[in-house]
A = this chain, B = another copy of it.
Amino acid sequence: MPAGRHIPEATVARLPVYLRALVEVADAKMSTISSERLADLAGVNAAKVRKDLSYLGSYGTRGVGYDVEFLLYQISRQLGLTRDWPIVIVGVGNLGHALANYRGFAARGFRIVALLDADPGKVGEQLGEHCIRAMAELSDVVQEEKVAIGVIATPAVVAQEVADRLVEAGVTSILNFAPTVISVPAHVALRKVDLSIELQILSFYHQRAVLANGLAPDLVTDLATDLATDLATDVSLPAG
């Protein structure tokens, strides 16, 4: 069967994980791999691996497994990683810095072609092999370098404006690290990474576990407060 259309979102999100596992397996000179082994490496179960891979086509061999190199190529191709993608990073604070130095991008074909910042004090500063450029140059850079993806690493307050300017300049995919919701036209792909939200989600499950294990003497007071809260309707909030 020639690769079936419409790969589910959840599957797409797992392909990069399989890809990484396969790179390791290939480095270890294994030439085939079973769905079960790949599942272990990817931290999922074997049925999911098989279903996911079946969306790409029937690339395995029954009784044997998947050819590692072949699968590597197919997944790379699906993810569009057989070519380089030029990216720009807007906002060179702590996070922008870390992103600019992050070797994982280059390793997967994401080539940083420019670092931009609105702060005139930063413009001109050298960072690795890049010189920080002014926001005014955004449009030119995007056009000249055919930039596909823009990364927003600015403070939240300016994130929407930066997104607008990226879109205006012709960028059609955006990765947003600013801790705020931004909106873009329908034709622009948008993903977000929010560091403090991840911690808050963890906090939820952590608290849940603590409560479940009865290990939280100091939570008892809070439960009392909660009860009061459920009965009363007016509550003053500890400053957020």
Contact = CB atoms under 8 A, between A and B. Distances in A.
Chain A: interface secondary structure? helix
Interface in A141-174: 148-149, 172-174
Interface of A: 2-3, 12-13, 15-17, 19-21, 23, 26, 41-43, 57, 67, 69-70, 72-74, 76-83, 85, 87, 94-95, 97-99, 101-102, 104-105, 107-108, 110, 148-149, 172-175, 179-181, 183, 187, 189, 191, 193-210, 218, 222, 226, 229-230, 233-238, 240
Nearest to A194: B16
Task: Give the oligomeric copy count.
Answer: 2
Contact of A195 (B99, B199, B208, B226): B99
Contacts of A83: 218, 222
A108 B180 contact: no
Given A79-B203, A94-B101, A193-B195, 10 more contacts: A16-B194, A19-B200, A72-B240, A73-B238, A82-B222, A87-B199, A107-B196, A110-B199, A175-B199, A191-B202
B102 A95 contact: yes
B73 A196 contact: no
A70 B200 contact: no
A15 B180 CA distance: 13
A204 B98 contact: no
A124 to B, nearest CB: 21
Nearest to A57: B230
B173 A79 contact: no
A206 B147 CA distance: 12
B230 A3 contact: yes
A191 B181 contact: no
Nearest to A212: B187
Question: What 6 A-B pairs are tightest by C-beta distance, nearest first?
Answer: A80-B207, A104-B196, A94-B98, A16-B200, A98-B98, A189-B205
A12 B201 contact: yes
Contacts of A70: 233-235
A234 B109 CA distance: 23
Contact of A206 (B85, B108, B195): B85
